[in-house]
Structure 1
Amino acid sequence: MEKREELYRGKAKSVFATSDEDRLILYFRNDTSMKDGEKIEQLERKGEINNRFNAFIMQKLEEAGIPTQFDTLLSTNESVVKKLKMIPLECVIRNYAAGGLVRRLEAKEGTKLTPPVFELFLKNDKLHDPVINESIAVAFGWATQDQLNRMRELTFHVNDILTKLFDKAGLLLVDFKLEFGLYHGEIVLGDEFSPDGSRLWDKETRKKLDKDRFRQGLGGVVEGYIEVAQRLGVPL
């Protein structure tokens, strides 16, 4: 399979076409950004760690019956994935109050949410990924109600699987975002799962081991990612 032109360049990944019309290559860069790209830094090994982390998680999810975009780990920073027609929405699960929920509701960070909170966001950097509801998503044609139902079902299933996985590693899965797309008409989990798009805390100390280390100027961003990966048994 031959790697061809760059099709899309996001904040931390690039997507390349291949000689196989049904496959793409995701290239995980070392770019780390916040505030929709207003602040960008290069962090050595970050792309490699996220690539391997994502491969590990997606394989775990596949084993548990979640259909994913992931195909194979190609190189240090690259993975081969199925070509999806992406749905421009982000599905977010919050198990504990943090980030935007704390700011919007003036909630206490770390409050356990029972049951977990499900939120839907429009994927749009210009609008700063606004919170929307299912009615808006259907009215604007971003997804059908059946697709939204399936996305919500899969998101909660992923939460059940990963909450247990991280708990065994002594970690709290605070929250995370997922993106989905269509593959031959089927809703499939796409994009990535890594500490870039999730919040992961030490279960005992509540030490932050995710991208909040970058957002909040705590330092040791890559070191935090590596600690999570090692606890999970991700081959680095």
Structure 2
Amino acid sequence: MSRRKQIYEGKAKILYEGPEPGTLVQYFKDDATAFNAQKKAVLDGKGVLNNRISEFVMLRLEEIGIPTHFIKRLNMREQLIKKVEIIPLEVICRNVAAGTMAKRLGLDEGTKLPRSVVEFCLKRDDLGDPLVAEEHIHTFGWATHAEVDEMITMTLRINDYLRGMFGGIGINLIDFKIEFGRLDVTMENGSVAHQVILADEISPDSCRLWDRETDRKMDKDRFRRDMGGVTEAYTEVATRLGILKEANNVHAPKLSVVSNDD
């Protein structure tokens, strides 16, 4: 990897220049962070699990017509992705009150919402990723009206699909965070247009996942709240999805996976 040109390093991933124009290589780290990186740790095997789970989800979303940046998995820790201009917003979809929503609104965690709620946060670690309204987005030009509508529509479609997918393996989707990017697309008349597509990742790092029978947390909250068993929980999610053959060893070099390459 030292011979590649590094483009960006975030809290959980590194982006490298891709082998072809318009592509990047996304590397999943074992680093875990919370509270805007005030809490940090390295969890052996987490990057491998997130890579495989995100690949699984992205492929299935593509099947229902959600455009994504995912091209293919390269190895246990890397994906080849389309290079996009990231829209500087985090889009959060909530089905149950948890985390910051529960604290902000004084709700008991676990309160089922009467309808799914879509929220936007500005991607600014130095400001704590503040919650913003659509009026802010339009006023400061972070996204157009059409892009906001497209992001909301896709987020709700993704939510419907993921709730069914996780529900089928006994897991409740409490909420999730996603990001979108602009992909340059050449039109028939030669002009270039921006297509909004799903980017970043979808994994237990970015979703709240609770066991349907016990409400046991199977996501990053296990790290945030010092509950332990983070990679074990991620491994169970992957196992239930059919990605892993065995759930008895979470160390990255020894993970036994079901191949999607054939």
Is the pair's TM-score, using the shorter chain for normalization, greater than 0.5?
Answer: yes
> Which position in structure 2 is the counterpart of 1:170?
170
SS at match of 1:4: coil
Given candidates 216, 226, 230, the residue that maps to 1:217 is 226
1:97 aligns with 2:97: yes
Q: Which has the larger radius of gyration?
A: 2
- For 1:13 and 1:153, the matched residues in 2 are separated by 27
1:228 aligns with 2:229: no
- For 2:19 and 2:62, the matched residues in 1 are separated by 25
> Which position in structure 2 is the counterpart of 1:41?
41
Instruction: Write the letter of the residue equivalent to 1:186.
Output: Q
- For 1:35 and 1:95, the matched residues in 2 are separated by 22
1:195 aligns with 2:204: yes
- For 1:114 and 1:4, the matched residues in 2 are separated by 48
- For 1:224 and 1:35, the matched residues in 2 are separated by 20
CA deviation after TM superposition for structure 1 residue 187, in Å: 0.4
Q: Does structure 1 conserve the Cα–Cα contact (< 8 Å) formed by 2:18 and 2:80? A: no
How do 1:143-182 residues align onto structure 2 when only pairs under 5 Å count? 143-182=143-182
Instruction: Write the letter of the residue equivalent to 1:233.
Output: G
Q: Deviations over 1:62-94 (max 9, x none)?
A: 011100000000011000000001100011110
Instruction: Write the letter of the residue equivalent to 1:189.
Output: L
- For 2:243 and 2:101, the matched residues in 1 are separated by 30
Instruction: Write the letter of the residue equivalent to 2:150.
Output: R
1:138 aligns with 2:147: no
Instruction: Write the letter of the residue equivalent to 1:195.
Output: P
CA deviation after TM superposition for structure 1 residue 135, in Å: 1.1
CA deviation after TM superposition for structure 1 residue 18, in Å: 2.0
- For 1:181 and 1:160, the matched residues in 2 are separated by 21
Q: Deviations over 1:99-136 (max 9, x none)?
A: 00011111011111121111111011000000001111
Instruction: Write the letter of the residue equivalent to 1:213.
Output: R
Deviates more, 1:5-14 or 1:17-26: 17-26
- For 2:238 and 2:97, the matched residues in 1 are separated by 23
- For 1:106 and 1:23, the matched residues in 2 are separated by 44
SS at match of 1:172: strand
CA deviation after TM superposition for structure 1 residue 4, in Å: 2.6
Superposition misfits of 4+ residues, deviation over 4 angstroms: none
Instruction: Write the letter of the residue equivalent to 1:227.
Output: E
- For 1:179 and 1:198, the matched residues in 2 are separated by 12
CA RMSD, Structure 1 to Structure 2 (Å): 0.9
Q: Does structure 2 conserve the Cα–Cα contact (< 8 Å) formed by 1:4 and 1:19? A: no
Equivalenced residues, count: 234
Percentage of matched positions with identical amino acids: 45
Unaligned runs of 5+ in 2: 185-193, 245-256, 258-262
SS at match of 1:163: helix
Unaligned runs of 5+ in 1: none
CA deviation after TM superposition for structure 1 residue 33, in Å: 0.5
- For 2:200 and 2:206, the matched residues in 1 are separated by 10
SS at match of 1:60: helix
